[in-house]
A and B are shown apart, each in its own frame.
Chain A
Amino acid sequence: MPEENGQKKLAMVVMSGDMDKLFGAFIIANGAAAMGMEVTMFFTFWGLRAIKKDVGTGKTLFGRMLGMMYGGDISKANPSKFSFGGLGRWMFNKMMGAHNVAKLTELRDMAVQLGVNMYGCQMSMDVMEIPQEAFIDGVKEPVGVGFFLLKAQDADITLFI
Chain B
Amino acid sequence: MPGAAREKGSTMSEEIKVDLELDLKGLLCPLPMVKVSQNITNVPVGGVIRAVATDPGSMADIPAWAKSTGNEVLSAEKQGNEFVFLVKRVK
User: A: which residues have CB within 8 A of B?
Assistant: 8, 27, 30-31, 33-37, 99-102, 110, 114
Interface residues on B, range: 10 to 19
Could you mark each residue 12-54 of chain B with 1 if its beta carbon is under 8 Å from any beta carbon of chain A, else 0?
A: 0000000000000011111101101110000000000000000
Contact of B31 with A102 in the complex, beta carbons under 8 Å: yes
B81 at the interface (CB under 8 A from A): no
Whether the pair B28, A35 counts as a contact (CB closer than 8 A) is no
Q: Is the CB of A31 within 8 A of B27?
A: no
Asked if residues B26 and A34 are in contact (CB atoms below 8 Å), the reply is no
Secondary structure call for the B interface:
helix
Cβ-based interface call for B10 (8 A): no
Q: Is the CB of A35 within 8 A of B64?
A: yes
In the complex, A114→B39 CA distance in Å?
A: 12
> 1/0 per residue B49-76: CB within 8 Å of A?
0000000000001001100110000000
- With both beta carbons as reference points, the residue of chain B lying nearest to A8 in the complex is identified as B68
The listed residue (B28, B34, B36) touching A101 by CB distance below 8 A is B28
Q: Which residues of B contact A30 (CB under 8 A)?
A: 30, 34
**Chain A residue, CB-CB nearest to B67:** A35
Interface centre among B29, B34, B36, B64, by most chain A C-beta atoms within 10 angstroms, is B34
List 6 contacting pairs A-B, 8 Å CB cutoff, sorted by A. A27-B29, A31-B30, A35-B33, A100-B28, A102-B31, A114-B38
Whole-angstrom CA separation of A114 from B69 in the bound complex: 15
Question: Whose C-beta in chain A lies nearest to the C-beta of B33?
Answer: A34
Nearest CB of chain B from residue A83's CB, rounded to whole Å: 24
Closest 9 CB pairs of A and B: A34-B37, A35-B68, A31-B30, A34-B34, A36-B69, A30-B30, A27-B30, A34-B33, A101-B28
- Closest A residue to B66 by CB, please name it: A35
Collect the chain A residues with CB atoms within 8 Å of residue B28's CB.
99-102
- Whether B65 and A35, one on each chain, are in contact in the complex, defined by CB atoms closer than 8 angstroms, is yes
